[in-house]
Structure 1
């Protein structure tokens, strides 16, 4: 499952309220002490592309 993070306390270059969506950045933050500064939420499910009928 993919996650997004919301900053609840500023740290590094991040400000309160920032949304972090990059999967590599999310994984790095969750793996160190900065995890205490964020709230983890489930990322929205990706919607598969639906072809548009021509005509």
Structure 2
């Protein structure tokens, strides 16, 4: 925002769901889910910025 002052396009079209009991998840599974699903938080931040918030 400091450099370009606006967001023209943002596409966040990713989600991970592992269909098995969570007690069978590997460390890699957890890392992947958090990396994709939580990183989607960037879309929420961008939307808030577009509305004038932070």
TM-score, scaled relative to structure 2: 0.26
Indicate the structure with greater helix content. 2
TM-score, scaled relative to structure 1: 0.26
